[in-house]
Amino acid sequence: MLLNLNSKPKTTPPVSASEQEQRIRRIADALPKLSEGQALWVEDMLMQFARPHSFKANPHSDIITQRFLYDFGDTLRVHHCFSKQAFTKDKFEYVFERIALLCGLPAKLATKGNPGFDIIVAGQKLSLKTEAHEGINADKIHISKFMELGKPKWTNDPADLIGLRQVFLDRVNECDRVFTLRVLSKLPNKWHYELVEIPKALLLSAATGQLEMKTKSKQTGALPGYCYVKDARGHLLFELYFDGGSERKLRVQKLLKSSCVVHATWVFSTEDVLSDDNQATGQLSLM
């Protein structure tokens, strides 16, 4: 299901020259009133905007307009003026809503803790995930906590995995689309984010996956298990891991990014670090 952007321009018209001048004048008028510390933070953000960056959108994306691409990328850059940590899920949700509204799309965050989806954009229920762990595999998606499985029947009986899988399938069916914001590099001179959509149909193909309970596990009570999802040639597409620990969570792992859609990438530097190849010219490199 695609977002209905047919009635909207692919790029949001810029504000008029007079509106931009008024905004700049308001900012300029406020600067002399800033404290030393406040002026320092403003200067840091301005320096961040001047650093090299590369923002790219999939030309076939139905959700990433030029406005969305650059506003989201600049928000990531501002975030890293104040943090060396990756963008978190709560920030992702908030900024997604804010920028969707700026792009003229109706958007509303779901109630906190709502199961199934995190935000409604143009009538579609979107589930938003993040991935930023160390050792991330650029080609395989890993969502350490796709959901909590709750309290369905879960013992050492392999047949219990059928019910657990159905809990996952029901959760996927509660949303229209699933997106994950991934951090592929955390180097100060090369932060690299990407927005990937995991096809809902791919996740639902777990309905025919091969179930396996780890009956030899040393855990007691709820034993861990797997659901292996393969293509017609027997190649693994992804796995579900049913964690029988205290959180009773479900993990999606080894999911091939080649089966998904990359909607946008954001690569940028957060400090003025020269690469060895560009020392002579003084140019920064994001490659």
> pLDDT, tens digit, for every residue of 134-181?
999 999 999 999 999 988 788 888 999 999 999 999 999 999 999 999
Question: Is it the case that residue 2 has pLDDT exceeding 80?
Answer: no
Measured on CA atoms in the order 123, 124, 127, 132, is the torsion positive or negative?
negative
What was the pLDDT predicted at 14?
Answer: 58
Question: Is it the case that residue 226 has pLDDT exceeding 80?
Answer: yes
CA atoms within 13 A on the CB side of 219: 18
CA 239 to CA 165: how far, in whole Å?
12
- Report residue 218's pLDDT band, with 50, 70 and 90 as the boundaries: confident
DSSP state of 141: E
Mean pLDDT of the chain: 89
**Of 186, 181, 179, 180, which is closest to residue 268 (Cα–Cα)?**
186
CA 239 to CA 143: how far, in whole Å?
11
What was the pLDDT predicted at 11?
Answer: 42
- Report residue 280's pLDDT band, with 50, 70 and 90 as the boundaries: very low
121, with CB counted inside 10 A (0-12, 13-18, 19+), is: buried
CA 149 to CA 126: how far, in whole Å?
19
pLDDT, tens digit (0-9, with 9 covering 90-100), for 252-270: 999 999 999 999 999 999 9
What was the pLDDT predicted at 278?
Answer: 46
